[in-house]
A and B are shown apart, each in its own frame.
Chain A
Amino acid sequence: RSDSYAELSQYRDQHFRGTRYDQERLLRKSCTLYVGNLSFYTTEEQIHELFGKSGDIKKVIMGLDKVKKTACGFCFVEYYARGDAENAMRYINGTRLDDRIIRTDWDAGFKEGRQYGRGRSGGQVRDEYRQDYDAGRGGYGKTVQ
């Protein structure tokens, strides 16, 4: 029986310490989701309310700009049970939070340091290079600014 929403995506974290095999093993039993395309103004409370609909949340870790230490549009949501994370992948991924379509993906697990954006300016890489204007993500991309 197909369950494509809960499968691993093609994305693999390039900064992961360990083999590809290790990473995939962790992804397959993970209870942690990466959540992307958040507005910079989306709060932990909103994330908790939305993602709480698929099960009890153990922890939300907000993604931060490495320089400014403010929210930069992503977060991690960790559940107590993998089944609850799977339901988030099936039913919360691709729906709206703060009027934005958010995207969820499996994460191998939070490690200190991973809460920071990896873009040169401190935010996420995608906000370095994008050309469009996005009011919820600081306006234009950093290279445009």
Chain B
Amino acid sequence: MSRRRHSDDSDAGQPHKRRRTSEPSELEERLESLICRVGEKSNSSLESNLEGLAGVLEADLPNYKSKILRILCTVARLLPEKLTVYTTLVGLLNARNYNFGGEFVEAMIRQLKECLKVNMYNEAVHLVRFLSDLVNCHVIAAPSMVAMFENFVSVTQEEDVPQVRCDWYMFAFLSSLPWVGKELYEKKDAEMDRLLSQAESYLKRRQKIHVPMLQVWTADKPHPQEEYLDCLWSQIQKLKKDRWQERHILRPYLAFDSVLCEALQHNLPPFTPPPHTEDSVYPMPRVIFRMFDYTDDPEGPVMPGSHSVERFVIEENLHCIIKSHWKERKTCAAQLLSYPGNNKIPLNYHIVEVIFAELFQLPSPPHIEVMYTTLLIELCKLQPGSLPQVLAQATEMLYMRLDTMNTTCVDRFINWFSHHLSNFQFRWSWEDWSDCLTQDLEKPKPKFVREVLEKCMRLSYHQRIIDIVPASFSVLSPANPVCIYKYGDESNRSLPGYTVALCLTIAIKNKASNDEIFSILKDVPNPNQDDDDGEGFTFNPLKIEVFVQTLLHLAAKSFSHSFSALAKFHEVFKTLAESDEGKLHVLRVVYEVWKNHPQMIAVLVDKMIRTQIVDCAAVANWIFSSELAHDFTRFYIWEILHSTIRKMNKHVLKIHKELEETKARLARQHKR
């Protein structure tokens, strides 16, 4: 939450003397803290905490109304997992001070419009849900909420707008119904039926070509990967069939029913959805990730079914907790584990499922991948007796279903699992996976194990990996990452370039300069029989081979040694790799020397791009060349390719920004 106290945004419009003593800001901080932490770490019940806080705030309203309004609007937007706590609070305040309730509703509508204008659609959903729960707290009159939803649903009738726009308004409507469906249906059943039938027809006619792209598995068994609106629709239909009985959401306002039903309600002002503009960017559609059902934890509480509204609410809230606390892993883990209702639902299973849902989300996870690894480790620390077992079960299930898993997701699974193991001494029951040993090594399961072992090796060392797997797994073990020096053996002395390589080795060890290197290399014949321009600087693959092999071999000790070598002999590299063929050949030789050590290849390629020895195009050509075809499905190839594309993107963005800045400077100069 913002702690800025700029004088222009606090009491705007209020006939209120601005005090500059320290006292008010201390009080404001206390108010913020009281509101944000209501119910936490208290011996009394949530209800009595809310009652107490409502009293305090009511007393402070004369002096701090706009501040309180702002804080409450912010928690509505940023703490959706505590939605019903704050709607109850607002309900209590409205019962004591009708005007305040009205001002709060107005402020929320303003905030909603603002969010929609600046494409903050995820936060806007929270605001809509908050408003709809205010109906349950007798702050907002049900008919006016229905009217707002009517305006939302009518967006689906707009022409020439992106489908994702209509999707959002439909989602905002449907996803509020777990909270307020019952109340709205009781008051306005005919209107609600009409809205639901409009929803049904929209959902039937909308396009879903994005679904195969976003599914983590191509198979429908054991759990279909449903489109998110389809899943939500099934959940709402079931909720309606159950006569809108929803038992999972914590509703503190129920305890205050006698107080709240005395309160006067406000009508929402008519809300026109802001029109679609060129700058509007709506949330992308999603596919619902499911990996568990009630059969997976036979001894514990029953997991709500995939089409139950409870499942929706739990998943929403857990995702919200992660979104609120992703920067603070211990807090995030603690908040996830203290999610209310954890003896009625198999909370550990929900948490693991939600985390993997984010990790495997396509195209990208909401947060950096390594966050999920560390979060799972924190969760294991907090629940050492139960969570590791759920995680092991999840890993086993993911392994079983590798055959139909999206390749990008498999890569993320490999990264996660190897990093996770490295925090637990690589302990795993590898024998359980010996079924993969009888398969073709290119099949997903053995390939997965190979890549995992390779990644584990990168985080430790070769012998460690040999030691942790059963002997039968040696066929899947990574190669010892040693350098292959073509000219190293006396038996190779008949190779062309052998003597020059020897010469070069001695020269480099004696700290020869670039010029001396060039003159040694002059003696290398050119197998291409091209016209030599006298300087010997046309593409000469043998020259490249001798130089690069020798240098990399001498610098093989560590990454730093190799980077120093690249830096010291940069000039030689640039000259030898001047042409496109030269660049390609440098990459080929790097591969020949280091094919046992893909990590080294990756860091060398990265360095060579950054120092402009090779360019991105050369790397792409090399990766897609026939010589590398046999490694095409190995993970390291795609790591290099993705890394190269990322560098290219960053570079393009950077010079684009510089161009815009220069244009702006020029425009300013012309104005003078």
Contact = CB atoms under 8 A, between A and B. Distances in A.
Interface of A: 1-6, 43-46, 48-50, 53-54, 56, 60-62, 87, 90-92, 95-99
Contact of A49 (B423, B560, B599, B646): B599
A37 to B, nearest CB: 14
A84 to B, nearest CB: 9
Contact of A1 (B327, B374, B460, B603): B327
Given A54-B368, A91-B373, A96-B423, A60 B559 contact: yes
B560 A62 contact: yes
B558 A45 contact: yes
Contacts of A97: 422, 459
B228 interface: no
Contacts of A45: 458, 558-559, 599-600
B655 to A, nearest CB: 16
Nearest to A2: B328
Given A54-B370, A91-B370, A96 B327 contact: no
Interface string B413-429: 00100010011010000
Interface of B: 1, 324, 327-329, 331, 368-371, 373-374, 377, 415, 419, 422-423, 425, 455, 458-461, 558-560, 599-600, 603, 606, 643, 646-647
Nearest to A90: B327
Contact of B458 (A49, A61, A62): A49
A44 B558 contact: yes
Contacts of B425: 99
9 contacts: A5-B328, A44-B559, A45-B559, A45-B600, A46-B461, A53-B370, A53-B415, A91-B370, A91-B374
**Smallest CB-CB A-B distances: 8 pairs:** A49-B458, A53-B370, A91-B374, A91-B370, A96-B423, A3-B327, A44-B558, A44-B559
B370 A6 contact: no
Contacts of B643: 56
A3 to B, nearest CB: 5
A116 B54 CA distance: 60
Nearest to B647: A56
B603 to A, nearest CB: 7
A111 B328 CA distance: 31
Nearest to A46: B459
Contacts of A96: 422-423
B176 to A, nearest CB: 25
A99 B422 CA distance: 7
A51 B107 CA distance: 45
Contacts of A43: 461, 558
Nearest to A49: B458
Given A6-B327, A44-B559, A50-B459, A91 B422 contact: no
A40 to B, nearest CB: 13
The B contact surface, by secondary structure, is: helix
Contact of A5 (B329, B368, B415, B419): B329
Contacts of B371: 87, 90-91
Nearest to A88: B370
B293 to A, nearest CB: 31
B661 to A, nearest CB: 19
Contacts of A91: 329, 368, 370-371, 373-374
B419 A53 contact: yes
A6 B419 CA distance: 21
Given A5-B328, A5-B329, A90-B327, 20 more contacts: A2-B328, A6-B327, A44-B559, A45-B458, A46-B458, A49-B455, A53-B419, A54-B368, A56-B606, A56-B646, A60-B559, A61-B560, A87-B368, A90-B329, A91-B373, A92-B370, A95-B377, A95-B423, A97-B422, A97-B459
Nearest to B464: A98
Given A60-B559, A95-B377, A1 B1 contact: yes
Contacts of A87: 368, 370-371
A56 B648 CA distance: 13
A97 B460 CA distance: 8
A46 to B, nearest CB: 6
A34 B627 CA distance: 41
A6 B371 CA distance: 13
Contact of A3 (B328, B603, B646): B328
A39 to B, nearest CB: 11
B603 A53 contact: no
Residue picked from A6, A50, A62, A91, most chain B C-beta under 10 Å:
A91
Contacts of B558: 43-45
A4 to B, nearest CB: 6
Contacts of B455: 49
